[in-house]
Structure 1
Amino acid sequence: MPAYLSSASVSRNFAWNPRLAHLRGLAAVLVLAFHTFHYFFGQWKPQSQDFGFGLVVEGHTGVSLFFVLSGFLFMSIAMQGNGHIDYGRFIRNRVLRIAPLFLVVFMVAISVGRDAFRPQDLLYVLFSNLGAAPTSSTFMTGAAWTISVEFTFYLVFPFLARFAMEQGPGYLLRLIGLLLLFKLGGFLATGHSTHMVYSTLLGRADQFLIGMLAALLAGRWLRKPLHGIWPVLAFVLIWGLVEIQARWASFFLPVQPYQWAWAIWPTVEALGWATVIVAYAHWQGQVPTRLGRWLEQGGEISFSIYLWHALVITLLGHAIGTPDWFADWRVNAAVTGLLVFGLTFWVARLSYQTIEAPFLGMRKRYVP
């Protein structure tokens, strides 16, 4: 691993892959840009008139990238061990990776909501995406909802990886098909169908599985690096998909009674991001050294960026209000975004070194 990164970043199970670090950083920045735009300018409403900015106005797609990337990364690790994973060590590693910072955020959430606290709220540490979770009571801790979705997937991943290695891609395809049937049933059974699909494992599980499938297919079929045109086409594809969503299927559109596109949107979105991951991870070219270092450092602290950025936005919002420094709101939005990113990067680096890195050094190898 490059010397300019923390030794805690070294996985005991998988060689450092700078391309995957770049994409983790991208996922965090997309969510940061999404929240910054809507907090200061977008008012959490559809922005279909602003063609070309779909990756900002619907930047929650960064969550989908995180989920697909998790499936891809862990399946790549499992393939090294032919599907054999030490379950106890795997879960221990995931707890060490996620719990320290997440529990800090959870403590902040229940402290802020102390007047409405109920003893059973402590159970929400396992279900931060369901019901009236304390983390969802304020914007500054709201991003933590994804942690429970991801960790629930981790609980079953070692079994899924083993079965996928034994039965091949067909196993994952069958599982995705069955999940789509369950998702359709759940979509029709609830009055808040879009939010159910967006924020639950039922709505997101296929994204992890598509990431696993992408890793399995790429590992078996790709025998040489890809030409540079493929990453370009892959990024154009996901940009186009998110533009379509922003124009006709925004998460913020009123649902009367169903927004049917969302019955399959996470699946389509995941296929787009899986294409990006495979194309970029197997690209034969090289990122310029200085840019690569910056992107790798962003990927290293992406979890901290993800969990800290909303607090930075909240504090900055109280300090400056809605920026109107320039005549064009787009310039105001760009400057505000750069300010939020710079402050968040600094805080995230401090958080990573103080809260995350000491625990990351305790991880152990879990594949043969």
Structure 2
Amino acid sequence: MRSFTATGRRRSFHIGASLLLAACLPFSAQAQKAYDPGATDKEVKLGNLVPYSGPASAYGTIGKAMTAYFDKVNASGGINGRKIEFISADDAYNPAKSVEQTRKLVEQDEVLAMVGSLGTSHNIAVQRYLNAKKVPQLFLSTGASRFGDPKNFPWTMGWQPTYQAEGKVYAQHILQNNPNAKIAVLMQNDDFGKDFYKGFVDALGDKAKTLIVSHQTYEVTDPTIDSQMVSFKASGADTFFNISTPKFAAQAIRKAADIGWKPVQYLSSVSQSMNAVLKPAGFENAVGIITSTYLLGADDPAGKGNKDVDEYLAVMKQYYPAGDPYDTFNVIGYATAATAAQALRQAGDNLTRENLMKQAANLNFTPPMLYPGIDVKTSPTDYYPIEKKTLQRFNGKAYEAFGPIFGG
């Protein structure tokens, strides 16, 4: 019978352990990488919905600006060595098409996550589906408050400040500057309009019933809002809160001028675009309009000498030359894409949907093109990435910020 000395047994153990360790190393290295559908060693697929056609097609440029950002990222080697395949589809601002396109992106294109999709009703239409599938629905282009509810919808996260918070700020400004105002409110008749209106009315409090002298709605399929504007003038209102999307916002501003109605105008930030709203309305008709922002416009004096602004302008020139770099919507797309890139960067090689959602809920950084003093912060219990804004007023050529930064 063969025998082993203690030394021999020890040597045999060391050799065996070394071989076992060597055999395990490749598997250990591989174990550090984890992928769900839409992610590989070479690429990450992201899905997106914006209306490239239909009544809100002015928002389509947001998707093109996001594409430009990811083109820049890919030209620089991608994120953690992976190229981003950004698949942006047209839902024509129609919730039924949002459902159809989202299912295609998830089930056929097999995207890792949906990122930056636009519209309140449109994201609501797919929210339960994406949460049931456990597909991240991230950094949405809507300020509806329901998109910051990790308890009931743990796979959904907004991005911009909420509509309710913005509506409250306008109400507070009115109460401070004209406590006896006669207010007319134009509202898109959907979840977007209702959310904005709730914040506005809540902040007016008991005075809402007496201060709001006319409240009119419109449908996105309506051709014009002319009759509502005539009604507002007849009501004697001296203050106008315009809760509408670009097409109707431009119509309202121009119609007010045409009929000689000159109220103090408050404009929802989703329609503050100079290119898509103020220009067709007539810059001269928009002088004095008050809105709010969390973004740093490329022509804002606050951004002079800012390297992020210089890079943004260079990216737009190279990857989206047909886009207007001074259009707010393009700034939104660029900054949203940068936020998604940060979440992917933090995810490293663990590109599961669960880990991407975990990283999205642990952000603390400042993406390019946010107004100075405003940043992105999230936590597992805080799904509202941006919670600060500042008021701004149109001077006939550009917006000028005034007053303090609020929120947070």
- Considering the TM-score relative to the shorter chain, is it more than 0.5? no
Name the one with the larger helix percent. 1
Q: Give the strand-richer structure, 1 or 2.
A: 2
TM-score (norm 2): 0.25
Higher RCO (C-alpha under 8 Å, 6+ residues apart): 1
